[in-house]
Amino acid sequence: MSSRIHALPSQLVNQIAAGEVVERPASVVKELMENSLDAGATRVQVDVEQGGVKLIRITDDGGGIERDDLAMALSRHATSKLNALEDLDRIASMGFRGEALPAIASVSRLTLASRAQDADRAWQYEPDSGELQPAALSQGTVVTVRDLFYNTPARRKFLRTDKTEFVHLEQVVKRLALVRHDVTFVLTHNGREVFCAKRAEDRVARERRLADLLGPAFLEDALFFEHEAAGLRLSGWVARPTFSRSQADMQHFYVNRRMVRDKLVTHAVRQAYQDVLYHGRHPAFVLFLELAPALVDVNVHPTKHEVRFRESRLVHDFLFRTLHQVLAEPAVTAEEYQAVTQPASTEARAAEFGLRAEAGGSIEQAVPRQATMRLAVGEQRAAYRAAQEWQTPPATPVAHTATESADDADTDEHPLGFAIAQLHGIYVLAQNRHGLVVVDMHAAHERITYEAFKRAREGEGIKSQPLLVPVSVAVSQREADLVEEHAAVFAELGMEVDRLGDQSLVVRALPALLRHADAERLMRDVLADLVVHGSSRRILEQINEVLGTMACHGSVRANRRLSIEEMNALLRDIESTERSGQCNHGRPTWAQMDMQSLDKLFLRGR
């Protein structure tokens, strides 16, 4: 091996770059489609053969490339999207590095044809021969890639079957179609059209495209929202916890319309779903985060899948709080309930959800009543009517009357309707205007009690309990500095931690609900969160687990007979309780069967 330093040939340099940019046919499609979108295309067609290994052709109707720029477009680090160093701080385009086209050309047989706007004809350039000649093209650009990795057999050996490669490629096209609803996308494989996603001008059309790309089941269980604060805007669809997945295959997150995979985002979403999802299950979502380009660094990796936020903690908290609130909406989100379900105090909220505590007691001593009798049905209806008329709701409860029954289920005042029976001591059957509602009474009451426990805890704060024997913990100097820096955070979490030396801490108190926990392990877990995310919900999550266990043991049990009044009170609580569609373990608490489904069971109308 020569010890002399020398410059590498340009072809070898491009092939080295291709190792980072071009992993498989799907990578080629992503890079070329993003170029089309940057060119202002309103229609992008992707034609592939043999999973993209034999042929990839991207055709768009964008602004095109000037004749004299065709050869330059295939040169390394040549781009029209950056002019100066300061442009890196406000990148708004999908591409900017000028690496993709030359890298792809170095490992395939590539042809580039384009017609610039106002040009009298189209031109085609082939880098292998260096020939530039006229082409038949009315508008835009066509990039043809043949025989991918033909000259790098070692890379080609790592490719999977044509079917597998096409699955990855199709996913890339779908992910771009999910975010760029203003563009028509067409995908064909071996001459057969796989899908055509037409431009979607409004939300109805966007949701139709969403159902076509992800399946109607996702849309049926998805919650649409839009929220803006602190210069950040988040919108999109999140699936209810009941629509969870065995793997993270339906998670689509975009930053300024760019597909990204980010640990900070994943952590924020996981925390938002923390106590409504089975362990080992994954949420589904399509989310769009928009912020000023200067607040996010996209120049992290050649694939541009990773980003770095300037204010990472702000972004994390914004994502978590927004999604947490969306998922916290009551199972029935009729606007009329917002006017009548806001208790005046923590004590009132606890009482309404069936909690009682001894005088001077705390949440640890609170025990749920055997039945949830928050508001009489008559009071609910009277309060609702008053809210609708912009009047003050009655101050005294209205007694339940026999007229408040399933006979009134054809109204919208109580979307879950009214109880008609109890089945095997497990399920409550109710009639509403749509048909039959079946409620798992233990699961529903468990969620109601759990949310009441959490609110009571939030009202009191987290109480700490001194340890009989303080626990010393050896840490790094950086971790010890973090403890001093976040002393207020630890105090809010009910922990008392002091610094003994440069690399030594002592834990003197823990949250009262976690007094039997491993103090050192808890301390290290919180520190790990602070190092990675700048904040920690570790203690709150563990406290919530304890509260969840308390709620489970204190909720109404199977085979307990409930009166009609108690069943109706349970229905009203479900309608107004956060996350009441799922129990603490992620199981659904109620299900709706409409009249059409019931008619099908008995072949009615046939």
Residues 258-269 pLDDT 10s: 999 888 999 999
Give the range among 121-125, 188-192, 360-364 with minimum mean pLDDT.
360-364
The residue ranges of DSSP E strands in 347-495, in sequence order, are 355-356, 367-368, 418-423, 427-432, 435-440, 464-474
Q: Which CATH superfamily is domain 348-606 in?
A: MutL, C-terminal domain, dimerisation subdomain (3.30.1540.20)
Of residues 90 and 437, more confidently modeled: 437
pLDDT band with cut points at 50, 70 and 90 for residue 291: very high
**Cα distances (angstroms) measured from residue 15 to each of 12, 22, 29, 144, 151:** 5, 9, 17, 18, 10
H helix runs in 440-486, sequence order = 441-460, 477-485
Region(s) of the chain under CATH 3.30.230.10: 203-327
Q: Under a CB-based contact definition with an 8 Å cutoff, are residues 524 and 473 in contact? A: yes
The closest of 423, 422, 370, 411 to 568, measured between CA atoms, is 422
pLDDT tens readout for residues 412-470: 678 899 999 999 999 999 999 999 999 999 999 999 988 887 887 778 777 889 999 99
* Averaged pLDDT for residues 395-406: 42
CB 285 within 8 A of CB 236: yes
Dist. CA 603–CA 606, nearest whole Å: 6
Instruction: List, for residues 2-37, the tens digit of each pLDDT value.
Output: 567 777 676 666 666 566 678 899 999 999 999 999
Topology of the domain comprising 10-192: Heat Shock Protein 90 (3.30.565)
pLDDT at 119 over 90: yes
User: What's the pLDDT band for 372 if we cut at 50, 70, 90?
Assistant: very low
pLDDT at 83 over 80: no
- For 203-327, CATH number out of 3.90.950.10, 3.40.50.720, 3.30.230.10, 3.30.9.10 equals 3.30.230.10
- What pLDDT sits at residue 511? 87
Residue with token string 């340009």: 10
- pLDDT tens column, 552-583: 776 777 778 899 999 999 999 999 898 888 88
The percent of residues above 90 in pLDDT, for the chain, comes to 47
pLDDT band at 397 (very low <50, low <70, confident <90, very high): very low
Confidence of residue 54 (pLDDT cuts 50, 70, 90): very high
Which residue type sits at 451?
Answer: E
78-84 contact pairs (CB < 8 A, 24+):
78/102, 81/38
Strands 131-135 and 122-126: antiparallel
Kindly report, as residue ranges, where domains of CATH 3.30.565.10 are found in the chain. Answer: 10-192
Grade residue 350 by pLDDT with cuts at 50, 70 and 90: very low
**How confident is residue 86, by pLDDT bands cut at 50, 70 and 90?**
low
Phi, then psi, of 198 in degrees rounded to 5: -80, 160
Tell me, what's the pLDDT at 385? 39
Q: Which of 447, 451, 430, 409 is nearest to 591 (CA)?
A: 430
Whether the CB-CB separation of 33 and 58 falls below 8 Å is answered with yes
Give the Cα separation of 598 and 601 in Å (integer). 5
Beta bridge mates, 195: 187
Query: pLDDT tier at 349 (50, 70, 90 boundaries)?
Result: very low
DSSP codes of every residue in 14-33: HHHHHHHH-SSHHHHHHHHH
- The dihedral region occupied by 286, where left means phi > 0, alpha psi between -120 and 50, and beta the remainder, is beta
User: What confidence score (pLDDT) does residue 438 get?
Assistant: 96
